[in-house]
Amino acid sequence: LLVDSMATQPRIVAALQALLREATARDVIVVHLAGHAARGGAEQDTLYFIPHEARLDAPGTGMEVRLVR
Neighbours of 61 (CB within 10 A): 16
Q: Which residue has the higher pLDDT, 42 or 5?
A: 5
Q: Is the dihedral of CA 31, 54, 67, 48 positive or negative?
A: positive
> From CA 26, how far away is CA 5, in angstroms rounded?
33
Per-residue model confidence (pLDDT) at position 69 = 65
Tens-place pLDDT, residues 10-69: 999 999 999 999 999 999 999 888 888 888 877 788 899 999 999 888 888 999 988 766
Cα 10 to Cα 17, 20, 63, distances in angstroms: 10, 15, 10
Entry pTM: 0.79
Which pairing describes strands 36-40 and 46-50: parallel, antiparallel, or unpaired?
A: antiparallel
